[in-house]
Amino acid sequence: QSVLTQPPSVSGAPGQRVTISCTGSSSNIGAGYDVHWYQQLPGTAPKLLIYGNNNRPSGFPDRFSGSKSGTSASLAITGLQAEDEADYYCQSYDASLTGYNYVFGTGTKVTVI
Amino acid sequence: QVQLQQSGPGLVKPSQTLSVTCAISGDSVSSNSATWNWIRQSPSRGLEWLGRTYYRSKWHNDYAESVKSRITANPDTSRNQFSLQLNSVTPEDTAVYYCARGADYYDSSGNLFLEAFDFWGQGTMVTVSS
């Protein structure tokens, strides 16, 4: 169903850096549409983490950063902390389907080991 | 601070209509800069955007192709809320349903980014079962 592909899981020790990829195509990320990232803590609604590819809303530390290149985007978490354990989703727009189409990634579970 | 409070039944029978309401505080459903969205989440389909309602001199709706024939998203200006109705449901419509505000964000040069969902309701688990 999802047109944006993410790795199912990534893990890292406290203090390490992890990255999450979001792979799209020429009809979404590659077409120039922006990418947003959301953090979903267990049992809660997603929360906007990164907007416009690499901008953080107030409330999230600068340990979180985003980037976009070609048909892909990435989320990096540096100085990994236990509280970062969550599911992370990318989101963009896809122009290949009829109608209006916001699309989400498949989601990545981050585990702090 | 914007808050979205959802309400609605947790169990719907197959072929019937699913209804969820989202009450807004801290913003207006008639805002000329926000949109009001419905998104669902299930293990099989992940996060799926369903549709939105918004006001830009008049009311507009956009719907995902996957549910376009069955969905209605309506504003209720008297109560400052909006609602989702999904007709002819099947067990595949079992999911957590979220309402979310879509908002415009700009870069330092004033360029507009793709709309982002910056405030979400708490979610409503809806099970379709007889």
Across the interface, of A2, A33, A99, the residue whose CB is closest to B64 is A99
User: In chain A, where do the E strands start and end?
Assistant: 9-12, 18-23, 36-40, 47-50, 64-69, 72-77, 86-93, 102-104, 108-112
CB-nearest to B47 from A33, A57, A104 is A104
Within 8 A of B122 by CB-CB distance, chain A residues are 44-45
pLDDT at A1 (0 to 100): 60
The rounded distance, in Å, linking the Cα atoms of B4 and A2 is: 26
Check CB contact of B3 with chain A, cutoff 8 Å.
no
d(CA A64, CA A71): 21
Task: List, for residues B47-59, the tens digit of each pLDDT value.
Answer: 999 999 999 999 9
The minimum CA-CA distance between A65 and chain B, rounded to whole Å, is 15
* Residue B47 to residue A1, Cβ atoms within 8 A: no
Answer whether B117 sits within 8 Å of A91, measured CB to CB: yes
Tell me which H or E stretch contains B49: strand B46-55
Residue A84 in this model has a pLDDT that exceeds 70: yes
Q: Is A95 helix (H, G, I), strand (E, B) or coil?
A: coil
| Residue pLDDT, tens place only, A24-51 | 999 999 999 999 999 999 999 999 999 9
Best to test chain B binding among A2, A27, A51, A68 (most B CBs inside 10 Å) = A51
Count of alpha carbons within 13 angstroms of residue B41, beta-carbon side? 22
SS3 A89: strand
pLDDT digits (tens, 9 = 90+) for B2-46: 999 999 999 999 999 999 999 999 999 999 999 999 999 999 999
Is the per-residue pLDDT at A97 higher than 80? Answer: no
